Amino acid sequence: MNGISDPATWIHLDWVLALVVGWLLIGLAGVLALRQFRVVATLLFPAGGLIALALFGVALSAALNAPEVAVLPIGLPQLPFHLRLDSLSAFFLMVIGGASAGVSAFAAGYFRRGEGTPPGLLCLEYHLFLASMALVVVADDAYFFMVVWETMALASFFLVIANHRLPEIRQAGYLYLLVAHIGALGILLCFGVLQANTGDYTFANMRAQHLSAFWGSVAFVLAVFGFGAKAGILPLHAWLPEAHPAAPSPVSALMSGVMLKIALYGVLRISFDLLQTRIWWWGALLMAIGLLTALFGVVFSTVQVEMKRLLAYSSIENVGLMCAGFGLSLLFSSYGMKSLAGLALTAALYHLVSHAFFKSLLFCSTGAVMHATGERSLGKLGGLIRYMPWVAWPTLIGVLACAGLPPLGGFVSEWLLLQSFLFTAGLPSSFLNMLIPVMAALIALVAALSGYTMVKYFGVVFLGQPREEKISQAHDAGAWERSGMLWLTLGCVVLGLFPNQVIAFIDPVTRMLVSAGLADKVAGQGWLLVPVSIERASYAPAIFLLGVVTSFALAYLLVHRLYHGRLRRSAPWDCGFPWQNARMQDTAEGFGQPIRQIFEPMFRMQRELPTPFDAEPRYRVVVEDPLWHGLYLPVATVVERLSRLIGLLQRGRIAVYLLYSFVTLIVVLLVVKQ
């Protein structure tokens, strides 16, 4: 490795590359053990999880150190691979390592029977996916970045279509790959603008360029478009609710919990690092897109009746919140308000890492439920807390974190985000001072609807009575699945109880990108989290948890002391109708009906009404995405018609092709002559 800095400082980058090579070797070992389920499940996937843990530790150590750069003498002539490990790269490596460690342990139990593809091949695709994501965040030139970016897209595509025998899964994979490559074109064009016609595509050269406001804006918009297609922002979200239900659950966990964050890494790297100019409307645009995406995602998640589709729309919502935080930080930074820019960016990055853990946990629990019951529809589940307690209790932690309730990580990040939106009175624009509090109200609405969705998800799946007879035969998760879910649960709890310590690792990123952070402010506050000043707002997660535990313990002791021996167990109140059954429980459709009625203009609904001649009258409402029918299908129709017109040129006759060549030559000669 031919480094630019002192070789003594390469140690972290060397370890990162060694761990990436370890993932690749595990993938190759999977090919050798192509159909040996036991070897793949009990040896290779756990080994991949250990490498992920090691990557998490290396990144944790590198986050507080100086940047490390290196050049690998591979690639094309005169185009070697440049690498850089700075605080931003280290933070995202922590996210990759921390979340994928739990998902890999879960996958060791989940892939015990394969998913339509030989387990060894799944092992190769899975670990190639992990390796490519790690390399994306350390790439330091456009060529290397695009190579590993496309490797990540292809590896995840093959994972999505693991059960490729089903046509709907192949269709979902095709849509994902199409949107991914459209986004890649935007990223390529963005890099073309950033290199400013110098021919040097290293990120170091791009940092040295000072683009005009026009070309900087072009690069920013292309970056938001290109990386937004992979992140699932509106209106480039259509692939996400299709690909997540199609993919195996550990793959869905990685895509939602980790891969979406890699796309957001690209937005951060270009907007805050490679571009040297920042304009206020960039932040306003990113905020507006983020809030629209968040509202759209949470409203659609409330009306879903399929588990993984519900979680997919929830991921769209959370990506929107992160983009809103990035946009607000960009807005503050453009006006030189560094401390508030650091607060907004800290909140967004905190939500990013929190989402990586709780959404990975929820997708893993969904996979465990699907394996145990064979069902993915909410309308056929219920009462699983009795039969799958090892899955139910970690899932409860995950839904509480996703709902933004204390004392878990989701609450800390959303609370910080709201604080950053409420401290905006000093902006020089009166219009923005009026608009941003409205955006804060929208964030509060999104948070409330997210809690509503999570109550629906957990209540319909785990509480009540089983809606199908076979649900009572469900089995709990295995040892590997439990260990993976417990690791992710631990992450949700740690992120909630130790916010000051987590902010200490986020602080180098914010100082690198906006020259400000929160670590100095919160370091001396002990267990209190004080983002600006203690007079304005503070939060004490440990004290809150202690209060909750004390209240429950006191209530328990009082009941047993005062009412000991007077406890009587009986069936719940049945409203005077003792012949109730599971069909009388509130369904997923019924739970989402109020939201569906309030936000009806946002949906495209098809109602199937019963007729007097139906043997079994049934009322059914299908909720569809209006953007799919209003944007994607018309564009697909236009592209198909243009393709047919262009196809007329291809007649299959050599004489016609020679005529084309002759006409083209004549036209070129005429143009040159003129």
DSSP 335: T
* 546 and 636 part of one domain: no
**pLDDT score at 603:** 78
Amino acid at position 221, single letter: V
61, part of any domain: no
Q: Could you report the per-residue pLDDT of 466-486, keeping only the tens digit for each?
A: 777 777 788 888 889 999 999
Tokens of 158: 């093959």
Q: Which residues span the domain enclosing 366? A: 288-306+330-484+494-501+510-555+586-597
356, part of any domain: yes
Tokens of 235: 């209106």
354, part of any domain: yes
**pLDDT score at 115:** 59
**pLDDT score at 674:** 55
**pLDDT score at 1:** 43
Longest Cα–Cα distance in the chain: 107
**pLDDT score at 623:** 78
* Average of per-residue pLDDT across 316-340: 91
- Is there a contact between 46 and 150 (Cβ–Cβ < 8 Å)? no
* 591 and 457 part of one domain: yes
271, part of any domain: no
Residue with tokens 């002539």: 77
* 593 and 639 part of one domain: no
State phi, psi for 529 to the nearest 5 degrees. -100, 110
* 339 and 444 part of one domain: yes
* 440 and 528 part of one domain: yes
* Average of per-residue pLDDT across 234-256: 89
* 593 and 658 part of one domain: no
Tokens of 262: 């890699």
**pLDDT score at 611:** 63
Q: Is the pLDDT of residue 91 over 90?
A: yes
**pLDDT score at 7:** 47
Range with the poorest average pLDDT among 24-28, 44-48, 86-90, 380-384: 380-384
Task: Tell me what percent of the residues of the chain surpass a pLDDT of 90.
Answer: 36
Q: Is the pLDDT of residue 3 over 50?
A: no
* 479 and 542 part of one domain: yes
State how far the Cα of 366 lies from the Cα of 309, in Å rounded to an integer: 11
Q: At 524, is the pLDDT very low, low, confident or very high (cuts 50, 70, 90)?
A: low
470, part of any domain: yes
Which is more confidently placed, 452 or 465? 452
State how far the Cα of 554 lies from the Cα of 564, in Å rounded to an integer: 15
Which is more confidently placed, 56 or 555? 56
State how far the Cα of 138 lies from the Cα of 68, in Å rounded to an integer: 10
- Is there a contact between 129 and 254 (Cβ–Cβ < 8 Å)? yes
Q: Which of 245, 260, 253 is nearest to 173 (CA)?
A: 245
Does the predicted model carry a pTM greater than 0.95?
no
Cα distances from 538 to residues 419, 500, 517, 530, 594, in angstroms, run: 10, 12, 17, 5, 35
State phi, psi for 623 to the nearest 5 degrees. -100, 125
* Average of per-residue pLDDT across 215-243: 91
Range with the poorest average pLDDT among 14-18, 284-288, 637-641: 637-641
**pLDDT score at 356:** 94
Tokens of 67: 């940047």
**pLDDT score at 6:** 46
Cα distances from 83 to residues 137, 139, 616, 664, in angstroms, run: 9, 5, 64, 45
* Average of per-residue pLDDT across 539-543: 78
142, part of any domain: no
**pLDDT score at 613:** 61
Which is more confidently placed, 641 or 44? 44
* 518 and 653 part of one domain: no
Q: Is the pLDDT of residue 496 over 80?
A: yes
Q: Is the pLDDT of residue 427 over 60?
A: yes
Q: Is the pLDDT of residue 162 over 60?
A: yes
Q: Which of 239, 231, 373, 228 is nearest to 307 (CA)?
A: 373
Q: What is the mean pLDDT of the chain?
A: 85
Task: Please state the domain count of the chain.
Answer: 2
Q: Could you report the per-residue pLDDT of 102-138, keeping only the tens digit for each?
A: 999 999 888 765 556 788 888 999 999 999 999 999 9
* Average of per-residue pLDDT across 646-663: 77
Task: Tell me what percent of the residues of the chain surpass a pLDDT of 70.
Answer: 92
336, part of any domain: yes
State phi, psi for 141 to the nearest 5 degrees. -150, 160
- Bridge-based pairing state of the strands 68-76 and 620-624: unpaired
* 404 and 300 part of one domain: yes
State how far the Cα of 407 lies from the Cα of 492, in Å rounded to an integer: 9
* 401 and 459 part of one domain: yes
State phi, psi for 528 to the nearest 5 degrees. -90, 140
- Is there a contact between 349 and 502 (Cβ–Cβ < 8 Å)? no
**pLDDT score at 155:** 93
408, part of any domain: yes
* Average of per-residue pLDDT across 130-150: 93
Q: Could you report the per-residue pLDDT of 367-417, keeping only the tens digit for each?
A: 899 888 888 888 788 888 888 889 999 999 999 999 988 888 888 888 888
**pLDDT score at 349:** 94
* 380 and 449 part of one domain: yes
